Structure 1
Amino acid sequence: MMNHLVSIIVPVYNAGTYIEDTIEMVRCQTYAHWELLLVDDASSDDSRMKIEEYCKKDKRISLIAKEKNEGAALARNTGIAGAGGRFIAFLDADDMWLPQKLEKELQFMEQKNAAFVFSSYEFGDEEAKGTGKVVKVPETLTYREALSRTVIFTSTVLFDTEKLNKTLIQMPNVKSEDTAAWWRILRNGYTAYGLNEVLVIYRRPRKSLSSNKLAAIKRIWNLYRREEKLSLPYSIYNFVLWAFRAALRRI
Protein backbone atom coordinates (compact mmCIF):
# COMPACT_ATOMS: atom_id res chain seq x y z
CA MET A 1 0.00 0.00 0.00
CA MET A 2 2.81 2.38 0.86
CA ASN A 3 4.18 2.18 -2.70
CA HIS A 4 0.98 3.16 -4.48
CA LEU A 5 0.32 6.51 -6.12
CA VAL A 6 -1.83 9.06 -4.28
CA SER A 7 -3.73 11.56 -6.44
CA ILE A 8 -4.15 14.87 -4.60
CA ILE A 9 -6.95 16.99 -6.05
CA VAL A 10 -6.99 20.74 -5.39
CA PRO A 11 -9.73 23.00 -6.80
CA VAL A 12 -8.20 26.41 -7.47
CA TYR A 13 -10.13 29.64 -7.92
CA ASN A 14 -8.30 32.94 -7.44
CA ALA A 15 -6.02 31.29 -4.89
CA GLY A 16 -2.88 33.14 -5.90
CA THR A 17 -2.34 34.31 -2.32
CA TYR A 18 -2.03 30.75 -1.03
CA ILE A 19 -1.21 28.46 -3.94
CA GLU A 20 2.58 28.55 -3.70
CA ASP A 21 2.44 27.67 0.01
CA THR A 22 -0.04 24.90 -0.77
CA ILE A 23 2.20 23.35 -3.42
CA GLU A 24 5.32 23.60 -1.24
CA MET A 25 3.46 22.00 1.63
CA VAL A 26 2.54 19.02 -0.56
CA ARG A 27 6.13 18.75 -1.75
CA CYS A 28 7.19 18.50 1.91
CA GLN A 29 5.07 15.40 2.52
CA THR A 30 7.04 12.49 3.98
CA TYR A 31 5.19 10.21 1.55
CA ALA A 32 6.55 11.24 -1.84
CA HIS A 33 4.71 8.98 -4.31
CA TRP A 34 1.94 11.37 -5.26
CA GLU A 35 0.59 13.39 -8.14
CA LEU A 36 -0.81 16.87 -7.50
CA LEU A 37 -3.73 17.77 -9.76
CA LEU A 38 -4.43 21.49 -9.54
CA VAL A 39 -7.77 22.18 -11.21
CA ASP A 40 -7.91 25.86 -12.06
CA ASP A 41 -11.57 26.86 -12.19
CA ALA A 42 -11.10 29.80 -14.60
CA SER A 43 -9.25 32.02 -12.11
CA SER A 44 -8.89 35.70 -12.95
CA ASP A 45 -5.79 36.23 -10.79
CA ASP A 46 -2.25 34.85 -11.17
CA SER A 47 -3.06 31.34 -9.86
CA ARG A 48 -2.63 29.64 -13.22
CA MET A 49 0.69 31.34 -13.93
CA LYS A 50 2.11 30.30 -10.56
CA ILE A 51 0.96 26.72 -11.06
CA GLU A 52 2.56 26.59 -14.51
CA GLU A 53 5.90 27.57 -13.01
CA TYR A 54 5.72 24.68 -10.54
CA CYS A 55 4.75 22.24 -13.29
CA LYS A 56 8.11 23.01 -14.90
CA LYS A 57 9.96 22.24 -11.66
CA ASP A 58 8.22 19.05 -10.56
CA LYS A 59 6.79 16.44 -12.93
CA ARG A 60 4.44 15.22 -10.19
CA ILE A 61 2.48 18.49 -10.48
CA SER A 62 -0.16 18.98 -13.18
CA LEU A 63 -2.42 21.87 -14.12
CA ILE A 64 -5.92 21.09 -15.34
CA ALA A 65 -7.22 24.38 -16.74
CA LYS A 66 -10.96 24.87 -17.01
CA GLU A 67 -12.25 27.58 -19.32
CA LYS A 68 -15.49 28.12 -17.42
CA ASN A 69 -15.95 28.64 -13.68
CA GLU A 70 -18.27 25.91 -12.39
CA GLY A 71 -17.49 25.73 -8.67
CA ALA A 72 -15.47 23.50 -6.34
CA ALA A 73 -17.64 20.37 -6.70
CA LEU A 74 -17.26 20.11 -10.46
CA ALA A 75 -13.59 21.11 -10.25
CA ARG A 76 -12.97 18.20 -7.87
CA ASN A 77 -14.89 15.89 -10.19
CA THR A 78 -12.67 17.01 -13.07
CA GLY A 79 -9.68 16.09 -10.92
CA ILE A 80 -11.16 12.69 -10.05
CA ALA A 81 -11.67 11.95 -13.76
CA GLY A 82 -8.00 12.74 -14.43
CA ALA A 83 -6.58 10.97 -11.38
CA GLY A 84 -4.19 8.10 -12.01
CA GLY A 85 -3.59 7.02 -8.43
CA ARG A 86 -5.10 4.18 -6.46
CA PHE A 87 -5.67 6.61 -3.60
CA ILE A 88 -7.47 9.95 -3.82
CA ALA A 89 -7.06 12.84 -1.39
CA PHE A 90 -8.77 16.21 -1.46
CA LEU A 91 -7.07 19.41 -0.42
CA ASP A 92 -8.50 22.91 -0.52
CA ALA A 93 -6.06 25.55 -1.72
CA ASP A 94 -6.13 27.56 1.50
CA ASP A 95 -5.76 24.66 3.96
CA MET A 96 -2.51 23.21 5.30
CA TRP A 97 -1.37 19.62 5.68
CA LEU A 98 1.15 18.58 8.29
CA PRO A 99 4.17 16.84 6.70
CA GLN A 100 3.13 13.30 7.72
CA LYS A 101 -0.50 13.62 6.64
CA LEU A 102 -0.37 11.18 3.74
CA GLU A 103 2.03 8.75 5.37
CA LYS A 104 0.02 8.44 8.57
CA GLU A 105 -3.33 8.13 6.82
CA LEU A 106 -2.03 5.44 4.48
CA GLN A 107 -0.70 3.47 7.44
CA PHE A 108 -4.00 3.92 9.26
CA MET A 109 -5.96 2.85 6.19
CA GLU A 110 -3.89 -0.31 5.88
CA GLN A 111 -4.28 -1.04 9.60
CA LYS A 112 -8.07 -0.72 9.40
CA ASN A 113 -8.40 -2.28 5.93
CA ALA A 114 -10.55 0.75 5.16
CA ALA A 115 -11.81 2.36 1.96
CA PHE A 116 -12.43 5.78 3.51
CA VAL A 117 -10.44 7.49 6.27
CA PHE A 118 -10.33 11.00 7.70
CA SER A 119 -8.48 12.75 10.52
CA SER A 120 -8.81 15.36 13.22
CA TYR A 121 -8.01 18.94 12.34
CA GLU A 122 -7.26 22.26 13.97
CA PHE A 123 -8.86 25.60 13.20
CA GLY A 124 -6.33 28.11 11.91
CA ASP A 125 -6.38 31.87 11.55
CA GLU A 126 -6.00 33.77 8.27
CA GLU A 127 -2.30 32.87 8.25
CA ALA A 128 -3.11 29.16 8.79
CA LYS A 129 -1.58 29.28 12.27
CA GLY A 130 -3.29 26.90 14.67
CA THR A 131 -5.64 28.51 17.16
CA GLY A 132 -5.60 25.57 19.57
CA LYS A 133 -9.21 24.68 18.76
CA VAL A 134 -9.11 21.03 17.65
CA VAL A 135 -11.95 18.99 16.19
CA LYS A 136 -11.57 15.42 17.40
CA VAL A 137 -13.02 12.59 15.35
CA PRO A 138 -14.74 9.31 16.24
CA GLU A 139 -13.08 5.95 15.60
CA THR A 140 -15.75 5.05 13.07
CA LEU A 141 -18.64 6.84 11.42
CA THR A 142 -21.67 5.20 9.79
CA TYR A 143 -24.36 6.84 7.69
CA ARG A 144 -26.84 7.26 10.54
CA GLU A 145 -24.15 8.72 12.78
CA ALA A 146 -22.89 11.07 10.08
CA LEU A 147 -26.31 12.67 9.53
CA SER A 148 -26.08 14.47 12.85
CA ARG A 149 -22.40 15.44 12.82
CA THR A 150 -20.52 17.12 10.00
CA VAL A 151 -17.18 16.09 11.48
CA ILE A 152 -15.52 14.94 8.23
CA PHE A 153 -13.46 17.82 6.85
CA THR A 154 -12.70 17.73 3.13
CA SER A 155 -8.95 18.32 3.37
CA THR A 156 -8.55 15.36 5.75
CA VAL A 157 -10.08 12.56 3.65
CA LEU A 158 -8.35 9.71 1.82
CA PHE A 159 -10.03 7.08 -0.38
CA ASP A 160 -8.89 3.73 -1.73
CA THR A 161 -10.37 3.32 -5.22
CA GLU A 162 -9.67 -0.42 -5.19
CA LYS A 163 -12.29 -0.70 -2.46
CA LEU A 164 -14.51 2.26 -3.38
CA ASN A 165 -15.71 3.05 -6.90
CA LYS A 166 -14.64 6.47 -8.19
CA THR A 167 -18.22 7.33 -9.12
CA LEU A 168 -19.18 7.31 -5.43
CA ILE A 169 -16.47 9.87 -4.65
CA GLN A 170 -17.74 12.37 -7.23
CA MET A 171 -19.50 15.30 -5.66
CA PRO A 172 -23.02 16.46 -6.49
CA ASN A 173 -23.33 20.06 -7.65
CA VAL A 174 -25.16 21.28 -4.54
CA LYS A 175 -24.23 23.47 -1.58
CA SER A 176 -22.21 21.49 1.00
CA GLU A 177 -21.32 19.11 -1.82
CA ASP A 178 -18.62 17.46 0.27
CA THR A 179 -21.01 16.47 3.07
CA ALA A 180 -23.49 15.19 0.48
CA ALA A 181 -20.74 13.02 -1.04
CA TRP A 182 -19.68 11.57 2.32
CA TRP A 183 -23.30 10.69 3.13
CA ARG A 184 -23.77 8.98 -0.23
CA ILE A 185 -20.65 6.86 0.31
CA LEU A 186 -21.74 5.87 3.81
CA ARG A 187 -25.31 5.24 2.67
CA ASN A 188 -23.89 2.69 0.25
CA GLY A 189 -22.69 0.57 3.16
CA TYR A 190 -19.18 1.89 3.77
CA THR A 191 -17.83 2.96 7.16
CA ALA A 192 -15.48 5.93 7.52
CA TYR A 193 -12.58 5.45 9.94
CA GLY A 194 -11.36 8.42 11.95
CA LEU A 195 -7.70 8.94 12.83
CA ASN A 196 -7.88 11.07 15.97
CA GLU A 197 -4.71 13.00 15.27
CA VAL A 198 -4.42 16.53 13.93
CA LEU A 199 -2.99 16.33 10.41
CA VAL A 200 -4.65 19.39 8.84
CA ILE A 201 -5.01 23.08 9.61
CA TYR A 202 -8.35 24.52 8.50
CA ARG A 203 -7.73 28.14 7.55
CA ARG A 204 -10.77 30.26 8.40
CA PRO A 205 -10.77 33.77 6.93
CA ARG A 206 -13.11 36.09 8.79
CA LYS A 207 -15.58 36.28 5.91
CA SER A 208 -15.48 32.62 4.87
CA LEU A 209 -18.59 30.83 3.64
CA SER A 210 -18.44 28.37 6.53
CA SER A 211 -18.58 31.18 9.08
CA ASN A 212 -21.99 32.30 7.84
CA LYS A 213 -24.19 30.50 10.34
CA LEU A 214 -27.52 31.13 8.62
CA ALA A 215 -26.19 29.84 5.31
CA ALA A 216 -24.82 26.73 7.05
CA ILE A 217 -28.23 26.06 8.62
CA LYS A 218 -29.94 26.33 5.22
CA ARG A 219 -27.37 24.08 3.58
CA ILE A 220 -27.68 21.26 6.12
CA TRP A 221 -31.49 21.44 6.13
CA ASN A 222 -31.62 21.27 2.33
CA LEU A 223 -29.34 18.23 2.38
CA TYR A 224 -31.69 16.43 4.78
CA ARG A 225 -34.84 17.21 2.84
CA ARG A 226 -33.77 17.44 -0.81
CA GLU A 227 -30.73 15.19 -1.14
CA GLU A 228 -31.36 12.53 1.52
CA LYS A 229 -35.15 12.89 1.38
CA LEU A 230 -35.47 12.32 5.11
CA SER A 231 -38.86 12.65 6.78
CA LEU A 232 -39.62 15.92 8.54
CA PRO A 233 -39.39 14.40 12.08
CA TYR A 234 -36.11 12.60 11.30
CA SER A 235 -34.72 15.77 9.70
CA ILE A 236 -35.56 17.77 12.83
CA TYR A 237 -34.02 15.09 15.06
CA ASN A 238 -30.74 15.11 13.14
CA PHE A 239 -30.73 18.88 12.80
CA VAL A 240 -30.99 19.44 16.57
CA LEU A 241 -28.06 17.09 17.18
CA TRP A 242 -26.08 18.67 14.35
CA ALA A 243 -26.64 22.21 15.68
CA PHE A 244 -25.57 21.19 19.19
CA ARG A 245 -22.37 19.55 17.97
CA ALA A 246 -21.58 22.39 15.57
CA ALA A 247 -21.88 24.86 18.43
CA LEU A 248 -19.54 22.78 20.62
CA ARG A 249 -16.90 22.70 17.85
CA ARG A 250 -16.74 26.48 17.79
CA ILE A 251 -16.57 27.13 21.53
Structure 2
Amino acid sequence: MVSVSIVVPVYNSEKYIALALQGVVSQTFMDFEVIVVDDFSVDGSASIVESFCSRDPRFFLVRNKENIGAAKCRDKAVQLSKGRYIAFLDADDFWRPQKLQKQIGMMQNAGAAMSCTAVDIVDSSGAILGARDVPAIITYDILAKRTPVVNSTVILDSCQVGRVSVPDIRRRQDFALWLKIIREHGPALGIPEKLGGYRVHEGSLSRNKFISAVYTWKVLRDLESLNFFRAIYYFSFYSLKGVFGRIRGLN
Protein backbone atom coordinates (compact mmCIF):
# COMPACT_ATOMS: atom_id res chain seq x y z
CA MET A 1 0.00 0.00 0.00
CA VAL A 2 1.42 3.38 -1.00
CA SER A 3 1.45 6.17 1.55
CA VAL A 4 0.06 9.01 -0.58
CA SER A 5 -2.32 9.11 -3.53
CA ILE A 6 -2.13 12.35 -5.50
CA VAL A 7 -5.31 13.31 -7.34
CA VAL A 8 -4.91 15.51 -10.45
CA PRO A 9 -7.82 16.47 -12.75
CA VAL A 10 -6.69 17.82 -16.14
CA TYR A 11 -8.56 19.69 -18.86
CA ASN A 12 -6.71 21.53 -21.65
CA SER A 13 -3.78 22.31 -19.37
CA GLU A 14 -0.83 21.65 -21.68
CA LYS A 15 0.73 24.99 -20.69
CA TYR A 16 1.10 24.06 -17.02
CA ILE A 17 0.64 20.32 -16.43
CA ALA A 18 4.31 19.41 -16.92
CA LEU A 19 5.34 21.94 -14.25
CA ALA A 20 2.70 20.58 -11.86
CA LEU A 21 3.82 16.98 -12.34
CA GLN A 22 7.51 17.85 -12.21
CA GLY A 23 6.86 19.36 -8.78
CA VAL A 24 5.54 15.96 -7.73
CA VAL A 25 8.56 14.11 -9.15
CA SER A 26 10.83 16.47 -7.20
CA GLN A 27 9.28 15.63 -3.81
CA THR A 28 11.65 14.54 -1.05
CA PHE A 29 8.87 12.16 0.09
CA MET A 30 8.75 9.50 -2.61
CA ASP A 31 6.20 6.87 -1.52
CA PHE A 32 3.29 8.05 -3.65
CA GLU A 33 1.11 7.33 -6.67
CA VAL A 34 -0.25 9.97 -9.04
CA ILE A 35 -3.69 9.47 -10.56
CA VAL A 36 -4.31 11.93 -13.38
CA VAL A 37 -7.80 12.06 -14.88
CA ASP A 38 -7.86 13.77 -18.27
CA ASP A 39 -11.31 15.25 -18.81
CA PHE A 40 -11.50 14.82 -22.61
CA SER A 41 -8.84 17.45 -23.33
CA VAL A 42 -8.48 18.59 -26.94
CA ASP A 43 -4.93 19.89 -26.55
CA GLY A 44 -1.70 18.03 -25.74
CA SER A 45 -2.38 17.53 -22.02
CA ALA A 46 -2.83 13.76 -22.20
CA SER A 47 0.35 13.28 -24.25
CA ILE A 48 2.35 15.20 -21.66
CA VAL A 49 0.94 13.07 -18.87
CA GLU A 50 1.67 9.91 -20.86
CA SER A 51 5.32 10.94 -21.08
CA PHE A 52 5.48 10.98 -17.26
CA CYS A 53 3.71 7.60 -17.08
CA SER A 54 6.23 6.05 -19.48
CA ARG A 55 9.16 7.19 -17.31
CA ASP A 56 7.73 6.65 -13.83
CA PRO A 57 5.50 3.69 -12.80
CA ARG A 58 4.01 5.75 -9.98
CA PHE A 59 2.04 7.78 -12.56
CA PHE A 60 -1.32 6.62 -13.93
CA LEU A 61 -3.51 8.27 -16.57
CA VAL A 62 -7.27 7.82 -16.85
CA ARG A 63 -8.81 9.32 -20.01
CA ASN A 64 -12.48 10.26 -20.02
CA LYS A 65 -14.51 9.64 -23.18
CA GLU A 66 -16.49 12.83 -22.54
CA ASN A 67 -16.11 15.97 -20.45
CA ILE A 68 -17.58 15.38 -17.00
CA GLY A 69 -16.17 18.26 -14.94
CA ALA A 70 -13.52 18.59 -12.25
CA ALA A 71 -15.70 17.26 -9.41
CA LYS A 72 -16.35 13.90 -11.07
CA CYS A 73 -12.71 13.67 -12.19
CA ARG A 74 -11.48 14.15 -8.63
CA ASP A 75 -14.04 11.68 -7.34
CA LYS A 76 -13.00 9.07 -9.92
CA ALA A 77 -9.36 9.45 -8.89
CA VAL A 78 -10.16 9.25 -5.17
CA GLN A 79 -12.12 6.03 -5.64
CA LEU A 80 -9.20 4.51 -7.60
CA SER A 81 -6.63 5.62 -5.03
CA LYS A 82 -4.75 3.18 -2.77
CA GLY A 83 -2.84 5.48 -0.43
CA ARG A 84 -3.61 6.24 3.19
CA TYR A 85 -3.22 9.95 2.50
CA ILE A 86 -5.04 11.67 -0.35
CA ALA A 87 -3.43 14.84 -1.72
CA PHE A 88 -5.10 17.17 -4.19
CA LEU A 89 -3.29 19.03 -6.96
CA ASP A 90 -4.77 21.14 -9.76
CA ALA A 91 -3.10 21.01 -13.16
CA ASP A 92 -2.08 24.68 -13.19
CA ASP A 93 -0.70 24.83 -9.63
CA PHE A 94 2.60 23.51 -8.29
CA TRP A 95 4.31 22.14 -5.18
CA ARG A 96 7.71 22.82 -3.65
CA PRO A 97 9.98 19.82 -3.03
CA GLN A 98 9.39 19.33 0.71
CA LYS A 99 5.62 19.73 0.55
CA LEU A 100 4.58 16.13 1.18
CA GLN A 101 7.33 15.36 3.69
CA LYS A 102 6.66 18.38 5.90
CA GLN A 103 2.88 18.31 5.66
CA ILE A 104 2.42 14.61 6.35
CA GLY A 105 4.87 14.76 9.25
CA MET A 106 2.88 17.59 10.83
CA MET A 107 -0.40 15.76 10.25
CA GLN A 108 0.94 12.65 11.97
CA ASN A 109 2.20 14.66 14.94
CA ALA A 110 -1.15 16.43 15.31
CA GLY A 111 -3.36 13.43 14.48
CA ALA A 112 -5.15 15.63 11.94
CA ALA A 113 -7.74 14.28 9.50
CA MET A 114 -7.22 17.20 7.12
CA SER A 115 -4.48 19.76 6.57
CA CYS A 116 -3.61 22.56 4.19
CA THR A 117 -0.78 25.05 3.75
CA ALA A 118 -0.16 28.65 2.82
CA VAL A 119 0.68 29.33 -0.84
CA ASP A 120 2.17 31.96 -3.09
CA ILE A 121 -0.29 33.48 -5.56
CA VAL A 122 1.32 33.59 -9.00
CA ASP A 123 0.30 34.80 -12.45
CA SER A 124 0.36 32.87 -15.72
CA SER A 125 4.12 33.42 -16.06
CA GLY A 126 4.89 32.38 -12.47
CA ALA A 127 5.53 35.86 -11.08
CA ILE A 128 4.45 36.15 -7.44
CA LEU A 129 1.45 38.46 -6.93
CA GLY A 130 0.90 37.85 -3.25
CA ALA A 131 0.20 35.04 -0.81
CA ARG A 132 -2.68 33.15 0.76
CA ASP A 133 -2.04 32.56 4.45
CA VAL A 134 -3.83 30.04 6.65
CA PRO A 135 -4.67 30.04 10.36
CA ALA A 136 -3.12 27.28 12.47
CA ILE A 137 -6.55 25.80 13.19
CA ILE A 138 -9.35 25.99 10.62
CA THR A 139 -12.78 25.55 12.16
CA TYR A 140 -16.09 25.32 10.30
CA ASP A 141 -16.80 28.96 11.17
CA ILE A 142 -13.42 30.15 9.85
CA LEU A 143 -13.74 28.17 6.63
CA ALA A 144 -17.29 29.37 5.93
CA LYS A 145 -16.31 33.01 6.51
CA ARG A 146 -12.86 33.26 4.96
CA THR A 147 -12.35 30.25 2.68
CA PRO A 148 -8.59 30.15 3.40
CA VAL A 149 -8.12 26.63 2.01
CA VAL A 150 -6.53 26.26 -1.44
CA ASN A 151 -7.42 22.94 -3.07
CA SER A 152 -3.87 22.12 -4.21
CA THR A 153 -2.57 22.29 -0.64
CA VAL A 154 -5.01 19.83 0.94
CA ILE A 155 -4.11 16.38 2.25
CA LEU A 156 -6.66 14.04 3.87
CA ASP A 157 -6.09 11.00 6.08
CA SER A 158 -8.36 8.31 4.62
CA CYS A 159 -8.09 6.28 7.82
CA GLN A 160 -10.14 9.03 9.44
CA VAL A 161 -12.31 10.42 6.63
CA GLY A 162 -12.58 7.36 4.35
CA ARG A 163 -12.61 7.46 0.53
CA VAL A 164 -14.49 10.73 0.43
CA SER A 165 -16.98 11.46 -2.33
CA VAL A 166 -16.42 14.83 -4.01
CA PRO A 167 -19.74 16.76 -4.28
CA ASP A 168 -21.03 16.76 -7.86
CA ILE A 169 -21.31 20.48 -8.61
CA ARG A 170 -19.49 22.34 -11.39
CA ARG A 171 -17.85 24.92 -9.11
CA ARG A 172 -16.85 25.20 -5.45
CA GLN A 173 -16.93 21.43 -4.97
CA ASP A 174 -13.70 21.74 -3.00
CA PHE A 175 -15.27 24.26 -0.59
CA ALA A 176 -18.24 21.93 -0.13
CA LEU A 177 -16.00 18.94 0.59
CA TRP A 178 -13.85 20.79 3.14
CA LEU A 179 -16.93 22.06 4.98
CA LYS A 180 -18.30 18.53 5.20
CA ILE A 181 -15.02 17.05 6.45
CA ILE A 182 -14.50 19.72 9.09
CA ARG A 183 -18.13 19.44 10.22
CA GLU A 184 -17.82 15.67 10.60
CA HIS A 185 -14.19 15.27 11.75
CA GLY A 186 -13.25 18.51 13.47
CA PRO A 187 -10.94 21.43 12.58
CA ALA A 188 -8.27 21.17 9.89
CA LEU A 189 -4.59 21.77 10.53
CA GLY A 190 -3.20 24.90 8.88
CA ILE A 191 0.52 25.01 8.04
CA PRO A 192 1.87 28.58 7.64
CA GLU A 193 4.78 27.71 5.34
CA LYS A 194 4.16 28.43 1.63
CA LEU A 195 4.73 24.96 0.18
CA GLY A 196 3.30 25.60 -3.27
CA GLY A 197 1.88 28.06 -5.74
CA TYR A 198 -1.70 28.89 -6.71
CA ARG A 199 -2.00 30.22 -10.24
CA VAL A 200 -4.38 33.07 -11.08
CA HIS A 201 -5.53 33.52 -14.67
CA GLU A 202 -6.11 37.22 -15.18
CA GLY A 203 -8.43 36.95 -18.17
CA SER A 204 -11.20 35.13 -16.32
CA LEU A 205 -11.21 36.76 -12.88
CA SER A 206 -14.43 38.80 -13.15
CA ARG A 207 -16.52 35.98 -14.57
CA ASN A 208 -15.12 33.48 -12.10
CA LYS A 209 -15.95 35.74 -9.15
CA PHE A 210 -19.60 35.97 -10.14
CA ILE A 211 -19.95 32.25 -10.82
CA SER A 212 -18.10 31.40 -7.59
CA ALA A 213 -20.51 33.58 -5.64
CA VAL A 214 -23.49 31.73 -7.09
CA TYR A 215 -22.02 28.35 -6.20
CA THR A 216 -20.90 29.51 -2.75
CA TRP A 217 -24.52 30.30 -1.97
CA LYS A 218 -25.58 26.92 -3.39
CA VAL A 219 -23.09 25.11 -1.14
CA LEU A 220 -24.23 26.94 1.99
CA ARG A 221 -27.96 26.51 1.35
CA ASP A 222 -28.32 23.26 -0.59
CA LEU A 223 -25.36 21.10 0.41
CA GLU A 224 -24.82 22.30 3.98
CA SER A 225 -28.58 22.92 4.51
CA LEU A 226 -27.97 26.09 6.50
CA ASN A 227 -31.04 28.17 7.25
CA PHE A 228 -31.46 31.37 5.27
CA PHE A 229 -30.14 33.72 7.96
CA ARG A 230 -27.05 31.66 8.79
CA ALA A 231 -26.28 31.29 5.08
CA ILE A 232 -26.63 35.06 4.59
CA TYR A 233 -24.31 35.61 7.55
CA TYR A 234 -21.52 33.50 6.02
CA PHE A 235 -22.16 34.70 2.47
CA SER A 236 -21.77 38.34 3.57
CA PHE A 237 -18.17 37.60 4.62
CA TYR A 238 -17.49 35.99 1.24
CA SER A 239 -18.97 39.00 -0.59
CA LEU A 240 -17.00 41.55 1.41
CA LYS A 241 -13.79 39.59 0.91
CA GLY A 242 -14.37 39.69 -2.86
CA VAL A 243 -14.91 43.45 -2.87
CA PHE A 244 -11.90 44.32 -0.72
CA GLY A 245 -9.76 41.73 -2.50
CA ARG A 246 -10.38 43.46 -5.84
CA ILE A 247 -9.53 46.80 -4.29
CA ARG A 248 -6.19 45.41 -3.07
CA GLY A 249 -5.65 43.75 -6.45
CA LEU A 250 -4.89 40.34 -4.96
CA ASN A 251 -8.24 38.60 -5.30
Pair 1:208–1:102, CA change in 2 (3 A): farther
- Tell me the TM-score normalised to structure 2 length: 0.92
Residue 71 (structure 2) aligns with: 73
Q: Where in structure 2 are the equivalents of 1:1-251 lying within 5 Å?
A: 5-131=3-129, 133-166=130-163, 169-174=164-169, 175-208=171-204, 212-247=208-243, 251=248
**Partner SS state of residue 42, structure 2:** coil
Output the CA distance in 2 between the equivalents of 1:40 and 1:213.
Answer: 25
Percent of pairs identical after alignment?
Answer: 35
Amino acid at match of 2:222: R
Q: CA deviation at 1:216?
A: 2.2
Report Cα offsets for 1:50-77 as digits up to 9, x if no partner.
2112211111111111112100000001
Pair 1:193–1:185, CA change in 2 (3 A): same
Q: CA deviation at 1:249?
A: 5.1
Report Cα offsets for 1:131-150 as digits up to 9, x if no partner.
2x111111112223321121
Pair 1:75–1:182, CA change in 2 (3 A): same
Output the CA distance in 1 between the equivalents of 2:18 and 2:142.
Answer: 37
Q: CA deviation at 1:43?
A: 1.0
Please report the RMSD computed on the Cα atoms of aligned residues, expressed in angstroms: 1.8
- Tell me the TM-score normalised to structure 1 length: 0.92
**Partner SS state of residue 185, structure 2:** coil
Output the CA distance in 2 between the equivalents of 1:140 and 1:71.
Answer: 31
Q: Is the 8 A contact 2:2 2:33 kept in 1?
A: no
Which consecutive unaligned segments of at least 5 residues does structure 2 have?
none
Report Cα offsets for 1:180-222 as digits up to 9, x if no partner.
1111111213221100111121111112468632222212112
**Partner SS state of residue 36, structure 1:** strand
Q: Is the 8 A contact 2:2 2:31 kept in 1?
A: yes
Pair 1:209–1:43, CA change in 2 (3 A): farther
Output the CA distance in 1 between the equivalents of 2:206 and 2:104.
Answer: 28
Q: Is the 8 A contact 1:128 1:202 kept in 2?
A: no
Output the CA distance in 1 between the equivalents of 2:242 and 2:101.
Answer: 29
Q: CA deviation at 1:237?
A: 1.2
